Structure 1
Amino acid sequence: MGKSLRRIGLVLVCNLLLTGCWDNIDVSESHYVTAMGIDRAPDGLYELTFEFPTPILTGQNKEGSGGGGGGEQKSVAVVTTKGDTLYTAARNIVEKLARKVIPSKMELLIINEQVARDGLMEVFDFMERQQDTNMVANILLVKGATAKEIMQVESLQEKIPSQHLMKSIKVNQDNLGTSKEARVIDIIKEVGLPGRDPLLPVIEIEQRAEPLKVKDLGITGSAVLKDGKLVGYLDGVQTKSWLLIEHKGKISLYSVPLAEAEGNAVFEVISTKATKKVEFLHDDKPKFIIELKVVGNIGESQVSIDLTQPERLTSFKAQVAQIIRKEIENTLLTSQQYQSDIFGFGSLIYKKHLTQWRKMQDNWAELYSKAPYEIEVTVQVKRSGYTRKSIEVK
């Protein structure tokens, strides 16, 4: 009798151990989202477009697909749904696919500019409330097209097109400096931070083609937000200036005209150190101060001039500093026109001069737009290349 009870107990314990987790997800009954696009349809409804790695259920309604080419089987399926709210549209995709949709592996969120102009707070609220949403997903704003069009793009390099787009964003920021990376969680934090307005990377269709491929797209410039709404854009050069001040870019290139001859030299920025300050004038109005120290190399000279000579090198550094200063000034003035504090001067006041901030926070947009400024740029050249002067053909 004792042995029988022990056997029964052992069977019960094994059954408990083999039942699995209570919230176990059957992958055969689920779809993992790799990217999502948000548009505002002509009828005013939200239109959500989802990218799923294939295989997908046979016979389901597909709005488009990406990856691969020709007669090859597509590596992703793109499915679109609508709803009067984002939540309703997201729930409709479950009904359409007859499977659970899991957003934990979503790596890219693409937003149409009209949605951004209407305001992104509803989008961010939706993202935060969804269970298992990947809040560190990259975010892109589409200019002059719909998110659905971008979601249907094909890639010649990656099986999943959204991964190609994400790599393009990072390569651009690190090597060209004309665009920036942005994660959903970081933008949400910046929107809620006093005295700070965020930027979003921008993607456009540069060349219409059928089918549309990643190479037909351009990722450059930034979308300027204010109070969670799109108010304008920075171009690639202005974005590069912002990256220099915020220490976000790794490499920036400047073509510098040489006064001594007809030709240019290329200055490559390899590191920066920026300091932002706010001074208060006699009427307690703010004055912005930006101090930037730039270290770089002379990568190329088109003319035969010895840039290792001290007087010529000094002149060259002054030219570089002037170019960078003008570009930073242009970026700051543009942000003042938008009344969008993309450099976070208001945040500095909030952190260091809370009493002052409380007096001016309700009128900060106007104060920011009219604030005087001072920009100082110093340049250091580590080396002028492997040759003392450009090679001259004789």
Structure 2
Amino acid sequence: MKKIYTMLLCMMLLTGCSNYRELNELGLIIAMGIDHSQENNNGYRVTYQVVNPSQFSSTGAANGIPVINYSVEAKSIYEAYRLATTIIPRENNISHLSLIVIGEEVARDGLNLLFDAFERGENARTYMPVFIARGSSAEDILGVIEPIESNPTKSIISTSENNQKMYGVAKVMPVYEVISALSSEGTNLLLTGIKLNKELKSRNQTENLQDIEPSIIEINGLAIFNKDKLMNWYDREMARTAHLILSEVDSTSFPISCDGNKHITFTAKGIKSTIKTVIKPSPALQVNVTINGEIGETNCNIDISKTKVLKKLESDLEKEVINQIKQTIQFAQEAESDVFGFGNKLSKENPEYWKKHKKEWDKIFANAGVDVHVNTSIYNSGMLTDPYETK
């Protein structure tokens, strides 16, 4: 009898998982694309990228597509999620949502309270990164399968992270940071753009997988916002320099002209920058940057072992960086968009001035002077002191 009581007690202590679901019962949504509705003047066309579970089963096709896209139209993001149950044959699950892509047309018309659904309610999720589909729809971007990385969601995130580490155009910005920028005074939003490097030859993804030069998703510039609307784009050097001003570049490269059309290329590391708004005698935007770097490549016949030569190279690098920073800030001034947060910094350092002038800050920012100071230090010339000589 004691054994029976012991067994009953053990059974009572063992609890089951009430929310447990088998993989073949769930539609795991890993990405969302948000475009304008094609059927109505208002509303959205939302694309859900769902994991194809057959790729993880022993009987699944070896060369099958790892994800499946489902698109639905609705008046709101939340309603679209509910309506998706009419086309997704599994229980919708967003616990693995890892990416949000927004079509350029939606961004130009205004993000407004687009992200409200992501931070409201018991299923709130705000850590997934946000990207802008440049020149195309989010649906088209999420519809491309690449040979090396066949999961579009992973491809976009991995490429962005690699670029952020090695050059600095991209930044993986989560929803909560986007919301913070949209709701903050004195700071406008910058978001990484992605696009197809070329049009798909066919909607048949198998052909793209077998193409030696396939259509791929590439990092393409930074979207400049004014309030909640996309106004313009930073490209390549300017996009990188925008992040440099914000002290968000881990490492990057600067080719500097030497010997006519030849170049010496610096690898910059340990980049630190600060910004400040000076009010008197007239508003001016100040940027101070410190760059430590090394020589990565030279096409010039110069003796790098000489201190005098290194000092000149440091001076040339400083001039180049100053020029790029000024051009980048002036481009934002033309859009009257303070994407660097000069106004936000001013609101903390001089709250009285900010309270009085914050409504006209866009104009003040656009007409402010730009003062840039750069200090560079070349600490390493590589394994060689001189380049090899050609005969």
Q: Deviations over 1:42-87 (max 9, x none)?
A: 333411111111137xxxxxxxxxxxxx993221111111112222
Partner of 2:268: 269
Q: How far does residue 179 in structure 1 lie from its aligned partner after superposition?
A: 2.3
Q: Following the alignment from structure 1 to structure 2, what is the Cα–Cα distance between the partners of residues 136 and 103?
A: 12
Q: Deviations over 1:214-256 (max 9, x none)?
A: 8523212100112122111111111111221222222211111
Partner of 1:227: 227
Q: How far does residue 149 in structure 1 lie from its aligned partner after superposition?
A: 0.7
Q: How far does residue 169 in structure 1 lie from its aligned partner after superposition?
A: 0.6
Distance 1:19 1:381, change over 3 A: closer
Q: How far does residue 27 in structure 1 lie from its aligned partner after superposition?
A: 4.4
Letter in 2 for 1:278: T
Of the three residues 26, 29, 35, the one matched with 1:30 is 26
Partner of 2:352: 355
Q: Give the aligned length.
A: 374
Partner of 2:162: 171
Letter in 2 for 1:46: Y
Partner of 2:252: 252
Letter in 2 for 1:78: N
Q: What's the secondary structure of 1:294's corresponding residue?
A: strand
Does residue 128 (structure 1) correspond to residue 119 (structure 2)? The answer is: yes
Does residue 185 (structure 1) correspond to residue 215 (structure 2)? The answer is: no
Q: What's the secondary structure of 1:34's corresponding residue?
A: strand
Q: How far does residue 188 in structure 1 lie from its aligned partner after superposition?
A: 1.0
Q: Deviations over 1:110-133 (max 9, x none)?
A: 000111112213321122125434
Partner of 2:44: 46
Q: What's the secondary structure of 2:384's corresponding residue?
A: coil
Q: Following the alignment from structure 1 to structure 2, what is the Cα–Cα distance between the partners of residues 340 and 389?
A: 45
Q: How far does residue 99 in structure 1 lie from its aligned partner after superposition?
A: 3.4
Check whether the contact 1:31–1:102 (CA below 8 A) recurs between aligned residues. yes
Check whether the contact 1:198–1:225 (CA below 8 A) recurs between aligned residues. yes
Does residue 73 (structure 1) correspond to residue 43 (structure 2)? The answer is: no
Letter in 2 for 1:47: R
Q: How far does residue 162 in structure 1 lie from its aligned partner after superposition?
A: 0.9
Instruction: Let me know the Cα RMSD of the aligned residues.
Output: 2.4
Residue pairs, 1:1-394, within 5 angstroms: 11=8, 14=11, 17-21=14-18, 23-25=19-21, 27-43=23-39, 44=41, 45-55=43-53, 72-129=63-120, 131-209=122-200, 210=202, 211=205, 216-258=216-258, 260=259, 263-282=262-281, 286-394=283-391
Q: Following the alignment from structure 2 to structure 1, what is the Cα–Cα distance between the partners of residues 277 and 170?
A: 27
Q: How far does residue 12 in structure 1 lie from its aligned partner after superposition?
A: 8.1
Q: What's the secondary structure of 2:269's corresponding residue?
A: strand
Gaps of 5+ in 1: 57-69
Q: Following the alignment from structure 1 to structure 2, what is the Cα–Cα distance between the partners of residues 230 and 367?
A: 20
Q: Following the alignment from structure 2 to structure 1, what is the Cα–Cα distance between the partners of residues 70 and 318?
A: 50
Q: How far does residue 296 in structure 1 lie from its aligned partner after superposition?
A: 0.5
Check whether the contact 1:105–1:134 (CA below 8 A) recurs between aligned residues. no
Q: How far does residue 89 in structure 1 lie from its aligned partner after superposition?
A: 1.6
Letter in 2 for 1:327: Q
Gaps of 5+ in 2: 55-60
Compare 71-80 and 366-375 and name the one that shifted more.
Answer: 71-80
Q: Following the alignment from structure 1 to structure 2, what is the Cα–Cα distance between the partners of residues 215 and 96?
A: 28
Q: Following the alignment from structure 1 to structure 2, what is the Cα–Cα distance between the partners of residues 202 and 131?
A: 30
Q: Following the alignment from structure 1 to structure 2, what is the Cα–Cα distance between the partners of residues 205 and 323?
A: 31
Partner of 1:64: none
Q: Following the alignment from structure 1 to structure 2, what is the Cα–Cα distance between the partners of residues 253 and 9?
A: 70
Letter in 1 for 2:349: K
Q: What's the secondary structure of 1:39's corresponding residue?
A: strand
TM-score normalised over the length of structure 2: 0.88
Check whether the contact 1:277–1:345 (CA below 8 A) recurs between aligned residues. yes
Compare 93-102 and 146-155 and name the one that shifted more.
Answer: 93-102
Q: Following the alignment from structure 1 to structure 2, what is the Cα–Cα distance between the partners of residues 24 and 94?
A: 20
Q: How far does residue 261 in structure 1 lie from its aligned partner after superposition?
A: 5.6
Q: Following the alignment from structure 1 to structure 2, what is the Cα–Cα distance between the partners of residues 253 and 309?
A: 22
Q: What's the secondary structure of 2:53's corresponding residue?
A: coil
Partner of 1:61: none
Q: What's the secondary structure of 1:42's corresponding residue?
A: coil
